[in-house]
A and B are shown apart, each in its own frame.
Chain A
């Protein structure tokens, strides 16, 4: 029996080791990754901390944010940045934000909607720190929210798609049926119809932000259903790969996805957080920063269109550029009437425009979209 006890002890020891190892490795990633290792100087430097939902290597959402962080360091070299990656939303987020606060960050940026409550909680305890919450809804004394009008860039990408589809059937692989995504689908469809009134956009929901396998499957089904051009609102390049494999065109998202589908990818709405970060960090350093709910558009270059492929005819590109200029100059915006929904009801009257509040609560599809906004 003593032999059995001994083996049990060994087993417990080994299991404990495995658990510790997996914790170190699994949870080890959110260890702060200092951009520069000058610890002695760090105390005096102005420090900006980032909380990431994904990793900078995801080629999508977090990648775009990290490009912004790098741009920030380039523009204001005297500051220091750190980031925590793969921070889960919810209770864990509070701990991670607190960690950055204790490490002496002057500004803390969080890049996912679900960090909101945690951030507001930590912000109460650190009134001297400025908090910036991407895609957030609630601001406070020392908490600002920021987001971009990506729907404007989606409209432009829709124009490219509408001009390039041959059978007028476009597939759209979308993540979750929330207003942000629905807004994007509507804007894309309106853009496509602006150059090609007969366009139909088939929408499928993958119910995940980051799952290459599901997104690929969604794309494949759309291709089988006869779509000859695919667009996406999800964070992996799987849809681009599916289009490339099938020999059809595609529109990317988040960052320039050309490298994943050199033949298929035509362009895509992209995020460009850098200028906003530079402007805001400078304001905080000068002491001129005020809490705001920032929702910038093409005019601030926070959203843009990836370089358009040379497969797209020059006159289409010129048309897109003209529309982009119009939106940048704020002479026109996407949700300007008349707009009818899927059932033929007029939702926006001629000459009217959706307000920001209406856009943020959008839950219906414009005519021409095939699919349900409420799956």
Chain B
């Protein structure tokens, strides 16, 4: 394998990891506030289809991305209403959301299969940075969404760990009763985080249908929503580790073909299994070492009811 093939593979890992990163950041935020949303796959699909439809209708992919975020957030709002206001079971509601999202995206996109967008997203090389040998082409010669996604990861980290907002979010997820006692509206925080999470999932979906493979295909996320959920655990609920994890998982996806072309014989079936295997391994190691679900917000998955305090 020559150096070009290697940098090509790394650049491909970044591109393949971007939809995962966007969706995982959203899920991470929601989980930090105490809401687990297993509807990521459904929200990504709805984002992918609404983004594609609006890009076709308006001829501008930025409207598409906006529509995708709205689409994803609408679905997330259903989840928020069921789990926060009605205090329903988060796992059940999330799973329902995935099934619902899969169905409705297929329904909405029926007439749009086999079309192409008139406004493909182009790569913009960042001046100076993209000239760095090797690293430049891996990180700084991509479409805008790639840059936005790694900026968002940093912003999410800063917000979560360096601001009062972040403290409120983490408090809502760790100890909602205490958060409530100091005057934080747990419901508001959780609503906000869940809905922003939906926006990010929608954006991740639209990345697939508008940038990666500009077209709409039923079920085109093909399980990436679930990888994003696994990724949050893999990253131990840290946005910066999520960046590393996304590119690692994206790298596995890119490698399936890279290795085949290089003539290195590793079963493609094995490679497709790797992200899940890595997540299981990380979970096992962390639980053995720390004797707890390291990094998982304490109140994750539990509805907060002031009266039951």
Q: Is the CB of A375 within 8 A of B268?
A: yes
The count of chain A contact residues (Cβ–Cβ below 8 Å) is 55
Cβ of B82 under 8 Å from chain A: yes
B263 beta carbon closer than 8 Å to chain A: yes
Minimum CB distance partner of B100 in chain A:
A22
| Contacting pair A26 B99 (CB below 8 A) | yes
Interface string of A27-56 (1 = CB under 8 A from B): 111000000000000000000000000010
Across the interface, do B93 and A15 meet the contact criterion of CB distance under 8 Å?
yes
Set of chain B residues within 8 Å of A220, measured between Cβ atoms:
12
Taking A11-B88, A225-B5, A370-B263 as contacts, is the C-beta distance between A57 and B103 under 8 angstroms? Answer: no
CB distance from B169 to the nearest CB of A (A): 25
| B253 contacts partner chain A, Cβ-Cβ < 8 Å | yes
A371, B265: Cα distance in complex, Å: 9
Which of A121-129, A154-162, A237-245, A360-368 faces chain B? A237-245
Instruction: Assess whether A307 is interfacial by the CB under 8 Å rule.
Output: no
CB < 8 Å: which of B4, B253, B256 contacts A224?
B4
CB-based contact B114/A59 at 8 Å: yes
Q: Please measure, in the bound complex, the distance between the C-alpha atom of A202 and the C-alpha atom of B263, giving whole angstroms.
A: 10
A318 proximal to B (CB < 8 A):
no
Chain B residues in 8 Å Cβ range of A18: 78, 96-97, 100
For residue B50, CB closer than 8 A to chain A, the reply is no
Q: Are A7 and B100 in contact, CB atoms less than 8 angstroms apart?
A: no
Give Cα A222 to B208, complex, Å: 19
Q: Are A216 and B212 in contact (CB under 8 A)?
A: yes
Q: List, in ascending order, chain A residues with CB within 8 A of B3's CB.
A: none
Closest to A24 in B: B103
Task: Give CA–CA (A237, B87) in the complex, Å.
Answer: 45
Residue of A nearest to B262 (CB): A225
Stretch of A145-153, A203-211, A321-329, A332-340 on the interface side: A203-211
- Which A residues, 95 to 115, have Cβ-Cβ distances below 8 Å to chain B? none
| Interface 9-residue window, one of B105-113, B159-167, B238-246, B289-297 | B105-113
A-B contact count (CB 8 A): 148
A203 neighbours in B (Cβ, 8 Å): 260
Return chain A residues, CB-CB under 8 Å to B93: 15
In angstroms, how far is the closest chain A Cβ from the Cβ of B272?
Answer: 7
* B26 to A: closest C-beta gap in Å: 19
Q: How far is the CA of A203 from the CA of B16 in the complex (A)?
A: 21
From B97, B114, B268, B269, contact of A63 by CB (8 A): B114
Contact A217 B106 (CB under 8 A): no
Chain A residues touching B, majority SS: helix
Q: Which of A7, A26, A55 contacts B103 (CB 8 A)?
A: A26
Residues of A close to B5: CB separation below 8 A: 224-225
Q: Of residues 204 to 232 in A, which have CB atoms within 8 Å of B's CB atoms? A: 204-208, 210-218, 220-222, 224-225
Q: How far is the CB of A20 from chain B (nearest CB, A)?
A: 10
* A241 contacts B106, C-beta separation under 8 Å: no
Closest chain-A Cβ to B89's Cβ sits at a distance in Å of 8
A22 to B269, CA, bound (A): 31
Q: Which residue of B lies closest to A26 (CB)?
A: B103
What CA separation (Å) do A2 and B4 show in the bound complex?
67
Flag the segment in B62-70, B126-134, B215-223, B279-287 that touches A: B215-223
Contact partner of B82 (CB less than 8 A), chosen from A11, A63, A260, is: A11
> Is B254 in the interface zone, CB < 8 Å from A?
yes
Q: How far is the CB of A23 from chain B (nearest CB, A)?
A: 7
Cβ of A75 under 8 Å from chain B: no
**A241 close to B222 (CB less than 8 A):** no
Q: Provide the residues of chain A in CB contact with B99, threshold 8 Å.
A: 19, 22, 26
Q: Is A316 an interface residue (CB 8 A)?
A: no
Point out the residues of chain B lying under 8 angstroms from A58, CB to CB: 113-114, 217
CB-contact partner of A57 in B110, B258, B263, under 8 A? B110
Instruction: Tell me the smallest distance from the CB of A132 to a CB of chain B, in Å.
Output: 25
**A204-B212 in contact given A26-B106, A55-B218 (Cβ < 8 Å):** no
Given A25-B106, A26-B106, A221-B254: A371 and B260 interface contact (C-beta under 8 Å): yes
B168 within 8 A of A: no
CB of A236 within 8 Å of the partner chain: yes
- A349-375: CB near B (< 8 Å → 1, else 0) gives 000000000000000000000111001
Which A residues are CB-close (under 8 A) to B260?
203-205, 371-372, 375
- Nearest-Cβ distance from residue B79 to partner chain A, whole angstroms: 10
Q: Which of A27, A29, A213, A224 contacts B208 (CB 8 A)?
A: A213
Report the minimal beta-carbon distance from B206 to chain A, rounded to whole angstroms.
13
A21 at the interface (CB under 8 A from B): yes
In the complex, what residues of B have CB within 8 A of residue A27's CB? Answer: 103
Across the interface, B220 reaches (CB within 8 A) one of A15, A55, A213, A371, namely A213
Contacts of A372 in B (CB 8 A): 260, 265
Q: Which of B9, B102, B256, B263 has the most C-beta atoms of chain A within 10 angstroms of its own C-beta?
A: B256
Chain B nearest CB from A17 CB (Å) reads 10
Report the nearest B residue to A261, measured CB to CB. B116
Contact B208 A22 (CB under 8 A): no
Is the pair B268, A15 in contact by a Cβ cutoff of 8 Å? no
Whether B213 sits at the interface, judged by CB under 8 Å, is: yes
Distance in angstroms between the alpha carbons of A266 and B234 in the assembled complex? 45
Assess whether A25 is in contact with B215, with CB atoms less than 8 Å apart. no
Instruction: State whether A55 touches B113 (Cβ < 8 A).
Output: yes
Contact indicator B12/A15 (Cβ below 8 Å): no
Question: Is B212 in contact with A221, judged by CB distance below 8 angstroms?
Answer: no
23 intermolecular pairs with C-beta atoms under 8 Å apart: A7-B87, A14-B86, A14-B88, A15-B96, A22-B102, A25-B104, A59-B113, A86-B218, A206-B257, A207-B272, A208-B222, A211-B220, A212-B215, A213-B208, A213-B212, A213-B213, A217-B256, A221-B12, A224-B5, A224-B12, A241-B213, A241-B215, A260-B116
Q: 7 more A-B contacts (CB under 8 A) besides A203-B260, A217-B212, A222-B261?
A: A18-B97, A22-B99, A22-B103, A26-B99, A26-B107, A221-B261, A370-B263
Question: Footprint of A on B, CB under 8 Å?
Answer: 4-5, 8-9, 12, 16, 78, 82, 86-89, 92-93, 96-97, 99-100, 102-104, 106-107, 110-114, 116, 120, 208, 212-215, 217-218, 220, 222, 253-254, 256-258, 260-261, 263, 265, 267-269, 272, 305
Q: Residues of A at under 8 Å CB distance from B?
A: 4, 7-8, 10-11, 14-15, 18-19, 21-23, 25-29, 55, 57-59, 63, 86, 202-208, 210-218, 220-222, 224-225, 236-238, 241, 245, 259-260, 370-372, 375
